[in-house]
Amino acid sequence: MAAFVSTEVDDHGVATLHMQDEAGRNAFSEAFVQELVTHLEGLSRPDVKVAILRGLDEVFSAGGDRSVLMGLAEGRVAPYDLVLTRSLLEVPIPTVAAMAGHAVGGGLVFGLACDIVILGEESRYSCNFMDMGFTPGMGTTRLLQTVLGEHISAEMMYGCQYFKGKHFAGRSLVNYVEPAAKVEARARKVAMRMTDKPRFALELLKRTLSLPRRRAFEEARTMESLMHEICFANPETQARIRENYTPTGVGVPPEDQGGSNEESS
């Protein structure tokens, strides 16, 4: 069975964590998450000074897997079991999200939880939890505000629109919005500026700078779990997941699905 995730570390101490589940479009299935968490934990190795997270060329991550979402709706999976965002926030060295491809729902917030964020200007990003009939999870309600601001994040969470990366240039706190083909090169350039710094100093600074996001995540996680208990107890949620979730459709911008829920700017 092919690996869902791989990690390569170069001689400079730059680790590239590659999410590469083409069949699942990097959706967060149980098996995918287990492998991804193992690789995140592996970034603690002493020869790594900075990590770049990348996805497929077309899709960074399609967010929640259907089986996991149905498990939540049917009570087989507890909301507090979903701690992928925490695993990323706890990585001891700086992380750079090279989000060249589309990112949806939990896949979007996973990338935004990195220390430095680079979007593809022609790729599309959406927070589509409410289309599935339930409120956002994975710390989204606070972490999205941290990066995109209160009002932009509210529009995305309520309306579930897809926005091109160029929409966020000058409107958010993402570091760079580049043509998708240049995202990884930009991430590499940013990462290389950190490689001559002492590892212990990078760890100290990372721990300090990430503290507000880690606190925001824990606060959001508590409230999101309570909201999920209410949402997933409602039969409408299961029906909406079955109706709106398609294995090939998640992560594909609406114009490619024949839909209209998109802001092209």
* Per-chain mean pLDDT for the chain: 89
In a domain, 191, yes or no: no
59 phi and psi, to 5 degrees? -135, 120
Looking at residues 14-23, what average pLDDT do you find? 96
pLDDT at position 66, please? 83
Q: Residue 67 sits in which domain range?
A: 5-182+200-263
Pair 99, 110: CB distance under 8 Å:
no
What would the mean pLDDT of 197-214 be, rounded to a whole number? 96
Cβ of 46: how many Cβ atoms within 10 Å? 8
Q: What is the mean pLDDT of residues 179-206?
A: 98
Q: Which residue has the higher pLDDT, 27 or 80?
A: 27
Q: How many CB atoms lie within 10 A of CB 2?
A: 8
Tell me whether residue 190 is in a domain: no
104 against 250, higher pLDDT: 104
In a domain, 119, yes or no: yes
Per the domain annotation, does 192 fall within a domain? Answer: no
Rounded to an integer, the average pLDDT of 155-174 is: 95
Predicted local distance difference test score (pLDDT) of residue 79:
60
Task: Identify the three-state secondary structure at position 170.
Answer: coil
- Among candidate residues 18, 39, 102, 228, the one labeled active-site is 228
With H, G, I as helix, E, B as strand and everything else as coil, classify residue 2: coil
Supply angle C-alpha 81, 85, 90, rounded to 5.
110
- Range from 25-39, 81-95, 157-171, 234-248 carrying the lowest mean pLDDT: 234-248
Task: Flag whether pLDDT at 87 surpasses 80.
Answer: yes
For residue 188, being part of any structural domain is answered with no
Lookup result for tokens 């909406």: 240
Compare 235 and 46 and report the one with higher pLDDT.
46
Averaged pLDDT for residues 52-74: 88
Q: Does the pLDDT of residue 250 top 50, yes or no?
A: no
Is 258's pLDDT higher than 50? Answer: no
Domain presence at residue 10: yes
Q: Where are the alpha helices (DSSP H) in 8-83?
A: 30-42, 66-73
Residue 67 has what pLDDT? 82
Residue 195 falls inside a structural domain: no
**Res 78: pLDDT:** 66
Write the CB contacts of 208 (distance below 8 Å, at least 6 apart in sequence).
none
Return the CATH number at 27.
3.90.226.10
Position 141 in a domain: yes
Residues 30/222, Cβ–Cβ less than 8 Å = no
Total number of domains in the chain = 1
Alpha helices in the chain (DSSP H): 30-42, 66-73, 84-89, 106-112, 140-148, 150-159, 183-192, 199-209, 211-232, 235-244, 254-257
Q: Is pLDDT above 60 for 254?
A: no
Whether 228 is catalytic is yes
What is the percent of the chain where pLDDT is above 90? 70
